[in-house]
Amino acid sequence: DTEVTQTPKHLVMGMTNKKSLKCEQHMGHRAMYWYKQKAKKPPELMFVYSYEKLSINESVPSRFSPECPNSSLLNLHLHALQPEDSALYLCASSQDTVSSYNEQFFGPGTRLTVL
Amino acid sequence: GENVEQHPSTLSVQEGDSAVIKCTYSDSASNYFPWYKQELGKGPQLIIDIRSNVGEKKDQRIAVTLNKTAKHFSLHITETQPEDSAVYFCAAIIFNTGNQFYFGTGTSLTVIP
């Protein structure tokens, strides 16, 4: 199974809502990533988890709160978002963060719209 | 940090022709260079990659070349087909620094039937 799954596929939320994005992989990977992608732009790294510990936070606003409950799951909790946060949110996983052959497998993404 | 430039931003080719996309990087410590294909509404999918100790790699109609001295690498797609139409991203990675991917700005490839 070389698949990263993400739910939901689409999410529309108001600025006062609280919602969560979910990501799952069963490849035994110990590194998981959240990216934000705007239209016609490359993915921008938000967070990296290595062995269930947050290892990189790319100065992301606190209205985005990541969580890694176990090695297969990654969540992104959303609260008080702004319309400019509307984007495609991608999850990815890799074997770890230091191996020399470390393909990142991407999920299909969650299309988020903030009204 | 690493800076990856990608050209062209858009590319249209006739079906059956070849397509070439080029990327340059700034940090000579980068040692892994994947290429991702992203179709509309989907996440990026790895199509080919190359490590810094290899100059060229080929997989059927797709090939990647790496020039470490000049710090550039290129994606070559031969005998293009309409299903090759997508956005292509290159990336450069320095291992042992958290596996952080530095993506190029993307190339939107259209293959005209």
Ordered per-residue pLDDT tens for chain B, 113 residues: 789 999 999 999 999 999 999 999 999 888 899 999 999 888 999 999 999 888 999 999 999 999 999 999 999 999 999 999 999 999 998 876 666 788 999 999 999 99
| Residues from chain B contacting residue A103 (CB–CB below 8 Å) | 34, 46, 49
Rounded to an integer, what distance in angstroms lies between the CA atom of residue B75 and that of residue B45?
15
CA angle (A36 as vertex; B66, B23 as ends), nearest 5: 15
Taking only the tens place, the pLDDT of each residue in A5-51 is 999 999 999 998 999 999 999 999 999 999 999 998 999 999 999 99
Both tokens assigned to B64: 């990647």
| Pick among B101, B102, B107, B108 to test the A interface (most A CBs inside 10 A) | B101
CB B10 within 8 A of CB B72: no
Q: Where are the alpha helices (DSSP H) in chain B?
A: none
Q: Which residue has the higher pLDDT, B105 or A2?
A: B105
pLDDT at A97: 78
